[in-house]
Amino acid sequence: MIHLLSATVHQITPEGIIDRYPNSYNHFVLPFVIGITFILIYLFIGLIRILYHLSGEDRIKLLKSLFNPKTAWKNIKDIFCDCLLHTKIWKRKPLLGYMHSAIAFGWFLLIVVGHIEVWLFAPRHLSGLTEGSLYYPIFYRFFIWINPAHETLRGSVFFFIMDFLLLYVLSGIGLAMFKRVRSIALGMRHTTKPSLADRIALYCLWLIFPLRLLAEGFTADLSGGGFLTRPLNWVFRAFFGNELNFLPTWWAYSICLGLFFIAMPFSRYMHILTEPLLILFRNAGLKVRHPRKGFAEAEIYACSSCGLCLDACPMNAQKKNLKYSSVYFIRFLRRHNKKKTKEIAEKCLMCGKCYALCPVGVNSPAIRRAIRETQNNSINCNYSYLDTYAGKAAEVLSDKTRGKILYFAGCMSHLTPKIIKSMETILQASGQEYEFMDRNEGICCGRPLMLAGRTDAARKTIEANTKIIKDSGCTILLLSCPICLKIFKEEYSLKGIEVIHYTQFIDRLIKEGKLKVSKSSSAIVYHDPCELGRGCGIYEEPRNVLRAVAELKKASKEKDESICCGYSLGTLTLDEKDKAKIAESSVSSLMAEDPEEIVTACPMCYRAIRSKAEVPVKDFAEIVCERIENNDKN
> Does residue 380 touch other proteins according to CB under 8 A?
no
Q: What angle do CA 568, 604, 369 make, to 5 degrees?
A: 25
> Does residue 318 touch other proteins according to CB under 8 A?
no
| C-alpha distance from residue 45 to each of 41, 50, 293, 565 (Å) | 6, 9, 14, 44
For 598, phi then psi, to 5°, come to -110, 135
Q: How far apart are CA 327 and CA 303, in angstroms?
A: 7
Report, in Å, the least distance between residue 463 CB and other proteins: 21
> Does residue 418 touch other proteins according to CB under 8 A?
yes
User: Which helix (H) or strand (E) segment is 448 a member of?
Assistant: helix 447-451
248, 417, 431, 537: which one binds other proteins (CB under 8 A): 417
> Does residue 400 touch other proteins according to CB under 8 A?
no
Using CB under 8 A as the criterion, what x/- string covers residues 74-103 for binding other proteins? ------------------------------
Report, in Å, the least distance between residue 397 CB and other proteins: 16
Tally the residues of the chain: 634
Q: For residues 544-583, which are near other proteins according to CB under 8 A?
A: 576, 580
> Does residue 440 touch other proteins according to CB under 8 A?
yes
> Does residue 392 touch other proteins according to CB under 8 A?
no
Q: Which is nearer to other proteins, 63 or 415 (CB)?
A: 415
Question: How do beta strands 144-146 and 17-19 pair?
Answer: antiparallel
- The torsion defined by the Cα of 237, 238, 240 and 243, in degrees rounded to 10, comes to 20
49, 287, 439, 514: which one binds other proteins (CB under 8 A): 439
Report, in Å, the least distance between residue 420 CB and other proteins: 8
Report, in Å, the least distance between residue 440 CB and other proteins: 7
Q: Which residues contact 396 (CB under 8 A, 6 or more apart)?
A: none
Report, in Å, the least distance between residue 84 CB and other proteins: 48
| C-alpha distance from residue 261 to each of 43, 86, 235, 360 (Å) | 11, 22, 32, 21
Q: For residues 116-145, which are near other proteins according to CB under 8 A?
A: none
Report, in Å, the least distance between residue 349 CB and other proteins: 16
Q: For residues 600-619, which are near other proteins according to CB under 8 A?
A: 607, 610-611
Describe the chain by its helix, strand, coil percentages, rounded to 5.
Answer: 65, 5, 30
619 Rama sector, left if φ>0, alpha if ψ -120 to 50, beta otherwise: beta
Report, in Å, the least distance between residue 604 CB and other proteins: 11
Q: How far apart are CA 340 and CA 88, in angstroms?
A: 30
> Does residue 193 touch other proteins according to CB under 8 A?
no
Rg (CA), the chain: 31
> Does residue 60 touch other proteins according to CB under 8 A?
no
> Does residue 425 touch other proteins according to CB under 8 A?
no
Q: Which residues contact 420 (CB under 8 A, 6 or more apart)?
A: 409, 413, 414, 480
For 478, phi then psi, to 5°, come to -100, 130
Q: Which is nearer to other proteins, 392 or 439 (CB)?
A: 439
Report, in Å, the least distance between residue 424 CB and other proteins: 10
Interface with other proteins (CB under 8 A), residue total: 14
74, 92, 237, 414: which one binds other proteins (CB under 8 A): 414
State the number of CA atoms in the 13 A half-sphere of 503 facing the CB: 27
Q: Which is nearer to other proteins, 580 or 591 (CB)?
A: 580
Residues that bind other proteins (CB under 8 A): 414-418, 420-421, 439-440, 576, 580, 607, 610-611
